[in-house]
């Protein structure tokens, strides 16, 4: 039976400080928990409400034993407007990013602070076959509930690292691997010829500030998505831009 102390710890995981302290994160919702169960991540707690258990008799727990709570005990654990009645607590995988391997295309994110954008980019990256994501230290926490939810489970399957991008990109430069940067001024991405299976880095910055100026000299191939002549928009959403760039990068010539 789950204790009051454990319930208090679960509540605290809404905050980055305690996620980092305990190395744990929350997952809510039937589909999201199912994706978590199917992943290789370690699950510490799986909690369901009595009504959820009654309405989902055929849910596949894959051997994970759920704790059943009354609705009034479950509700404080959820920050969703309509609590789904099922949540899990899992271990944050160890970030073992130490050396440059770069056998394939890697996505780098600089200053993506919006958790919804972050989650959507993670989901989009998986769609295009990206397995490694490298984030600057001021990116949104990928394990916060909003990011996890927006990723629709992709965050459970990706290798995600946080590091100093300038150090990483300088090392990339020593290997003569192209660094494509998403900028407002650059070559037309639709005209660029890529080698979709060769090692490369795609660097995406925040939609409000773009790529940090200190990283610009480390970009070997600045690219842009040309706006339509009738457009008056200043920029694209970062997750939309990432999807367009990845689509172009992965297309077969």
Summary mean pLDDT of the chain: 91
Q: Name which of 229, 223, 174 is nearest 203 in CA terms.
A: 223
Can you tell me the mean pLDDT for 27-41?
Answer: 96
Same fold, 4-91 and 105-250: no
pLDDT (0 to 100) of residue 98: 65
| Position 158 confidence tier, pLDDT thresholds 50, 70, 90 | very high
- CA-CA-CA-CA dihedral for 141, 153, 98, 164, to nearest 10: -30
pLDDT for 209-230, tens place per residue?
889 999 999 999 999 999 888 8
Domain ranges for the chain, please list them: 4-91, 105-250
**Residue labelled with tokens 């005209």:** 191
Sign, CA dihedral 63-64-70-75, equals negative
Q: Report the predicted TM-score, pTM, of the whole model to 2 decimal places.
A: 0.91
pLDDT (0 to 100) of residue 186: 87
DSSP 231-246: ---S---HHHHHHHHH
pLDDT (0 to 100) of residue 99: 54
pLDDT at 130 over 60: yes
pLDDT for 67-86, tens place per residue?
999 988 899 998 888 899 99
**Residue labelled with tokens 């394939």:** 104
How far is 81 from 110, CA to CA, in rounded Å?
A: 31
How far is 176 from 95, CA to CA, in rounded Å?
A: 25
Question: 58 with 95: CB under 8 angstroms?
Answer: no
pLDDT (0 to 100) of residue 96: 75
How far is 125 from 130, CA to CA, in rounded Å?
A: 5
4-91 belongs to CATH 3.30.110.70: no
CATH architecture classification, 105-250: 3-Layer(aba) Sandwich (3.40)
Can you tell me the mean pLDDT for 133-154?
Answer: 95
Can you tell me the mean pLDDT for 30-37?
Answer: 96
């Amino acid at each position: 039976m789950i204790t009051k102390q454990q319930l208090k710890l679960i509540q605290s995981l809404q905050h980055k400080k305690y996620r980092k302290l305990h190395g744990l994160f929350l997952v809510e919702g039937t589909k999201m928990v199912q994706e978590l169960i199917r992943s290789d991540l370690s699950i510490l707690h799986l909690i369901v409400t009595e009504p959820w258990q009654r309405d989902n008799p055929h849910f596949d727990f894959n051997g994970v034993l759920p704790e059943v709570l009354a609705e009034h005990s479950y509700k404080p654990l959820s920050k969703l407007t309509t609590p789904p009645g099922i949540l899990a607590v899992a271990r944050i995988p160890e970030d073992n990013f130490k050396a440059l391997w770069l056998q394939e295309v890697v996505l780098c994110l600089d200053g993506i602070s919006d958790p919804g954008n972050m989650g959507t980019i993670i989901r989009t990256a998986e769609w295009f076959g990206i397995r490694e994501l490298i984030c600057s230290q001021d990116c949104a926490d990928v394990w916060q509930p909003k990011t996890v939810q927006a990723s629709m489970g992709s965050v459970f399957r990706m290798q995600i690292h946080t590091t100093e991008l300038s150090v990483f990109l300088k090392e990339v430069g020593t290997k003569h691997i192209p660094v494509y940067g998403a900028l407002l001024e650059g070559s037309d991405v639709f005209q660029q010829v890529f080698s979709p299976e060769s090692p490369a880095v795609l660097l995406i910055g925040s939609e409000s500030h773009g790529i940090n100026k200190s990283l610009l000299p480390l970009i070997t191939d600045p690219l842009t998505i040309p706006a339509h002549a009738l457009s008056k928009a200043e920029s694209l959403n970062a997750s939309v831009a990432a999807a367009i760039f990845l689509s172009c990068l992965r297309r077969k010539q």
